[in-house]
Amino acid sequence: MCGIAGLIHRGKSSNVGSELQGMLQALKHRGEDSTGYALYGDTDGKNFIMRFKVGENVGEGSSSVMEDVSVYDERKKIVDQTLVEIGAKIIKEERTLPYSLRYELEYDAKDLLNFSQTIEAIPGVEILSMGKSLEVIKDLGNAKAVCDRYSLDKLVGTHAIGHARMATESGVDIKSAHPFWGYPFSDVSVVHNGQLTNYWNNRRVLENKGMRFMSECDSELIAVYIAQKMREGATLEEGMKDSLLGLDGVFTYFVATKDSLGMAKDTMAAKPLVLYESDDLVAMGSEEIAIRSVLPQEIDTYDPFDGEVKVWQI
Amino acid sequence: MANLKTVSKKSKAQSMGMHTEILTGRTQQKFFNPDEAENFYYFGTYDVDFNKRTELDVMDMTAPEANKEIDNLMSQGYGTIVIKNPQGKHSLGVGILNKLNLIFEGSLGYFGMGSCDGPIVRINGRVGWSCAENLMAGKVVIEKNAGSCFGAAIRGGDLICKGSVGARTGIDMKGGTIIIGGDAGAFTGFMMQRGRIIILGDVGINLGDSMYDGTIFVGGEIGSYGSDAVDAELTKSDQDWLKRKLKVAEIGENFEVSKMKKIVAGKKLWNYDNLEPTEKKGAI
């Protein structure tokens, strides 16, 4: 089933970490195998924030294995050394969990593709997100458990999207959890509810164009698909509209960039989405109770129609 | 056993010993005998007084707790119940087989008012997916918008949404009337088997896809017709019925019904037309 939620404040910042936690926790009955957050925090925009993992948290059906912390330490050392070699300077580092790290990097990036390929060439290392505002945090458990584990409730920013996952297409682990980073684009993230039926066909085409897939989760295709369209010169909205034709299956998904948030619904409208829109806030989720967690008063909400694409700016 | 190659289609099943009665196409219809009081009484229903009114705040209740409390209030004779703070909770008001005047001061989540038979309901907010699924009788009015699968498989009653609705409105409906004041999404009337849908606004793609029977009236633009859905002539009788229905529903009373389009099933289904003569397929 899975549940997705997102919100964007227009013209102001808010405690989006706490707000998204409330929205996703309200959807936990839709799946609590894993929960993920893509938070767009207030930053000075100078440095990159890289969220990455050097190991897995393994649940049911995962093809990964739990490893010793010493293995993670060794991988971290290689990452640090590689960053120096490619000219990235670590300004600040945090290691929330043995396998999960957050670096602030001073790096003059013209091409995140080369950067990402170099870092992810280290076995067991995956970049969860890279951007000047975006931070993707995902792990096993429900929204509150993940929020508490990573202390996300105090994060202030403009917008956020998140996902409560019931694993169906692949195992329970972090690599299959949403949101997915729109590799190799800075500050692009995707969450998805549904199933894509032409995943392998699209994946083969995109891999031949140099795009990377870290999991076998069909939702990852959306992030890569949109990223490839943007790489070819499309705007976010154009890429999303194109996806309605290029992706087969049933889906509702959100895409966020540094300054915008978008939603798309498949042409059969087979997956739910409830939307609230005002001048200063847009909130949306798989169920109205998600929106109610941030707007308990009586409000007007609606279901977007089939084949609808919408994009909002901060 | 008879020679199955030579017997007529009508008697083949009987010849095979599958059943003994002669099927006429009305085997599901039950005729009520006024002398049999039990035919007019549901087990577990209550005598309620519409003038006896109370309020119920469900803010801190789960849906099962709220539904049990509604049942408890009906058992005490309350005929008008106002629900405060529904907060988009799922499955509120389900399974009410009773006459009751029920008012929700707010919005409902999924499956609100499902499997009901008899209540008069007003929802002063919106509803999520599958509102009033399997409604048998009564009236449900939604003041704002509704999600997908609105009125799925209803068999009777009136279901009215004053705003817009999502996809698959009236999917599998078997009777009753659905009225939409705004627009409706894709696959409206999908596999509809009987009853009527009225949409005053626009409707999405694949309208009436695979419909067996029933009638759809559309006031706005149609995205596309589904398989088996065809236009039919809008008769004077249709227009009179539409005017009356919209007036009773307190929605679109002044709507120009003569400009509405009428859509019916264009597919001939054997042994089906006998069931409801009023819904003959005029287009074929």
For residue A305, what is the nearest residue in chain B, using CA coordinates?
Answer: B185
SS3 A252: strand
Question: Tokens representing B100?
Answer: 């009751």
What would the DSSP string read from start to end of A111-125? -HHHHHHHHHTSTT-
Q: How far is CA A265 from the centre of its chain?
A: 18
Q: Which of A270, A287, A306 sits opposite B109 (nearest CB)?
A: A287
Tell whether A30 lies on the interface with B, counting CB pairs under 8 A.
Answer: no
Q: What is the DSSP letter of A193?
A: E
Q: Is the predicted pLDDT of residue B242 greater than 80, yes or no?
A: yes
From residue A65, give the alpha-carbon distance in Å to each of A60, A172, B18: 11, 11, 58
Residue of B107, B125, B186 lying closest to A306 (CB–CB) = B186
DSSP single-letter state for residue B55: E
The Cα A74–Cα A52 span in angstroms is: 15
Q: Take residue B199 and report the two structure tokens written for it.
A: 């949409």
Distances from the Cα of B55 to the Cα of A296, B33, B78, angstroms: 19, 38, 10
Torsion of CA B68, B74, B80, B83, to 10 degrees: -10
Query: A187 vs A43, A261, B71, CA distance in Å?
Result: 12, 11, 52
Best residue in B148, B169, B199, B207 for a mutation probing chain A (most A CBs within 10 Å):
B148
Looking at beta carbons, which residues of chain A come within 8 Å of B128? 272, 274, 287-288
Specify which residues A106 forms β-bridges with: A89
Domain edges within chain B: 82-279
- Mark yes or no for CB contact A272/B148 under 8 Å: yes
Of the candidates B106, B129, B164, the beta carbon closest to that of A298 is on B106
pLDDT at A159: 97
Both tokens assigned to A242: 């194109």
- Architecture, CATH, for domain B82-279: 3 Solenoid (2.160)
Q: What values do phi and psi take at A201, rounded to 5?
A: -60, -50
Does B164 reach chain A within 8 Å, measured CB to CB?
A: yes
The residues with which A284 forms a beta bridge, in sequence order, are A6, A275
* pLDDT score, position A77: 96
Picking from A273, A288, A299 by the largest number of B CB atoms within 10 A of its own CB, the best residue to mutate is: A288
Total number of domains constituting chain A: 1
- Read off the CATH number of the domain in which A29 is found: 3.60.20.10
- Judge whether A2 counts as a catalytic residue: yes
Contact B53, B25 (CB under 8 A): no
Smallest Cα distance from B108 to chain A, Å: 8
Using an 8 Å Cβ cutoff, are B136 and B116 in contact?
Answer: yes
Residue A268 and residue B87: Cβ atoms within 8 Å? no
Inspect the interface and report whether the beta carbons of A272 and B147 lie closer than 8 Å. yes
- pLDDT tens-place string over residues A225-264: 998 888 889 999 999 999 999 999 999 999 999 999 999 9
Interface contact A289-B89, CB threshold 8 A: yes
Query: Amino acid letter at A213?
Result: F
What is the C-alpha to C-alpha distance for residues A13 and B261, in angstroms, rounded to an integer? 49
Q: What is the pLDDT of residue A155?
A: 93
Query: What single-letter amino acid sits at A225?
Result: Y
Q: Residue A225: which of A49, A215, A244 has the closest Cα? A: A244
Q: Name the residue in chain B with its Cα closest to that of A298.
A: B106
Contacts of A292 in chain B (CB under 8 A): 87-88
Decide if B166 touches A, using CB distance below 8 A.
yes
Q: Read off the pLDDT of residues A13-68 as tens digits, 9 standing for 90 and up.
A: 999 999 999 999 999 999 999 999 999 999 998 999 999 999 988 787 777 778 88
DSSP state of B270: T
Query: Radius of gyration (Cα) for chain A, nearest Å?
Result: 18
Contacts of residue B88 in chain A, CB cutoff 8 Å? Answer: 287-289, 291-292
CA–CA distance, A267 with B226 (Å, rounded to integer) = 14
Of A90, A6, A83, A29, which Cα lies nearest the Cα of A281?
A: A6
- On whether any CB of chain A is under 8 Å from the CB of B210, the answer is no
Name the DSSP class of A303: P
Evaluate whether A252 touches A242 at the Cβ level (below 8 Å). Answer: no
Asked if the Cβ–Cβ distance from A298 to B186 is below 8 Å, we say: no
Task: Give the C-alpha separation, A21 to A5, whole Å.
Answer: 10
Q: Which domain holds residue A276?
A: 3-313
CA distance A289 to chain B (A): 5
d(CA A100, CA B226) in angstroms, rounded, equals 51
Q: State pTM to two decimals.
A: 0.82
B1 vs chain A: nearest CA distance in angstroms?
A: 49
pLDDT value of position B284? 33
User: B183 touching A, CB under 8 A?
Assistant: yes
How crowded is residue B170: how many other Cβ atoms within 10 Å of its Cβ?
Answer: 34
Per-residue confidence (pLDDT) for residue A37, from 0 to 100:
97
Q: Which of B171, B190, B169 is nearest to B181 (CA)?
A: B169
Instruction: Kindly state the average pLDDT of the residues B184-211.
Output: 95
pLDDT, one tens digit per residue, over A171-212 is 888 988 999 998 888 899 999 999 899 999 999 999 998 888
Nearest to B88 among A289, A300, A306 (CB): A289
Q: Peptide bond before A179: cis, by omega within 30 degrees of 0? A: yes
**What confidence tier does B281 reach under pLDDT thresholds 50, 70, 90?**
very low
Question: Between chains, do B87 and A296 touch, taking CB under 8 Å as contact?
Answer: yes
